Copies of this chain bind each other. A is one copy, B any other.
Amino acid sequence: MSSATAVRRLKLLTRTIGTGTRIGNMKHHVTIIGSGNWGSAIAKIVAENTKANPDVFHEEVKMWVFEEQYQLSPSHPRYDRSKHSGSQNLTSIINGLHENPKYLPGVALPANLFATPSLPDAVSEASILIFNVPHQFVSNICRQINGSCLPYARAISCIKGVDVSPDGISLFSDTIGRKLGIYCGALSGANIASEVAAEKFSETTIAYAPPEGPTEDFPEGLTPVPEELPAVDHALFKTLFHRPYFHVRVVSDVAGVSLGGALKNIVALAAGFVDGLEWGDNAKAAVMRVGLLEMRKFGKMFFAQSCKSATFTEESCGVADLITSCNGGRNHKCAMLSVRTGKSIETVEGEELNGQKLQGTITAREVNVYLRNKGLEDEFPLFTAVCRILNGEANVESLPQLIETD
């Protein structure tokens, strides 16, 4: 245990036991909803930390897995013909191997992490829920969970991005919270899942700011966390997520944390265009800087109540995630290849992504419709330029002129 970790645990113990505010000795049950590569990587981190902090958390962590039939490859190092010769439930394989060979192959998962195919089983005891599923499944999963989860549960959404429609922008954390009647914060950062899973160093940002009184979504206020449980606060989430290789900063700006993960993809397209022209490092850095400030302006304009400047310019979910996405992300890559080859980005997407969709082009167009409806396109010249370039209405060479301001 590092000294910083020791200090944090001591503080937590002092607060939860020493000050007498914690009456009983209940501990938090933690559940992960989702088991893709990012879901499995986060589940690994969380299970490592529940084991390391047995005074605060039950060691056992459940991970809900969308059940499917899976045939382990005979080339897998622990393939055993007597067990693995046919297809099996993916949950059985995960629990037998302590590995998710389909979505996070080659990474050992902690023995205290248990896969379950049942949503009610996964959530029924959990006072802390971590959502990490593809965004298109959020509504359906919440429908299946509703009524099964504890009324005082608290959640964190690790789902990247936001839901943009012509009328408005909704955060997945808000959607989850509203549908389940519980509060949900957000986690986002410069977190390529495979690197996190390999315990390569990274940072993340967690946002958590439950309302104190009644709100529109919670007219009677949130159901309080029982006093017998350790308080659910910034320190608790740092204890649950921080690892020597995964540094956590906790803030209160849920909208900013969520927006960063969506809007950075628009900027990554711009950076890819510039790299496609081989304009060099100055130009790329300039486009990233302009984009970062437009991300912040967007947040402060449309989430004025909560968005903080620093979330974008200082946190992992802002500037660092932007840097990662402009260095090696798929939006950057496809935009670059599109300029280099003269093919449309949709063509490049089809050739490069194996059926997956670029998030950046979707977000760029959705954000543009939203801004146009409000008559605010000119306030976001880079976002607008990216959309115009995608639509063939402007050429990449004109980017400096399009973002030139007085």
Q: Footprint of B on A, CB under 8 Å?
A: 2, 4, 7-8, 190-192, 195-196, 200-203, 244-245, 247, 274, 279-286, 288-290, 292-293, 313-316, 319-321, 323-324, 327-328, 399-401, 403-406
Per the bound structure, the CA–CA distance linking A202 and B286 in Å amounts to 6
Q: Which residues of B contact A405 (CB under 8 A)?
A: 4
State the Cβ distance, A190 to closest chain B Cβ, in Å: 4
7 nearest A-B pairs in the assembled complex, by CB-CB distance = A202-B282, A313-B313, A285-B320, A190-B285, A201-B283, A203-B286, A195-B280
Q: Is the CB of B324 within 8 A of A282?
A: yes
Per the bound structure, the CA–CA distance linking A405 and B285 in Å amounts to 28
Q: Is the CB of A283 within 8 A of B244?
A: no
Q: Is the CB of A190 within 8 A of B281?
A: yes
Q: Which residues of B contact A323 (CB under 8 A)?
A: 281, 284-285, 288-289, 323
Total copies of this chain within the assembly: 2
Q: Is the CB of A279 within 8 A of B201?
A: yes
Q: Which residues of B contact A201 (CB under 8 A)?
A: 274, 279, 282-283, 286, 399-400
Q: Which residues of B contact A289 (CB under 8 A)?
A: 190, 203, 314-316, 319-320, 323
Per the bound structure, the CA–CA distance linking A4 and B378 in Å amounts to 13
Scoring A7, A283, A292 by chain B CB atoms within 10 A of each residue's CB, the highest score goes to A283
Q: Which residues of B contact A244 (CB under 8 A)?
A: 400-401, 404
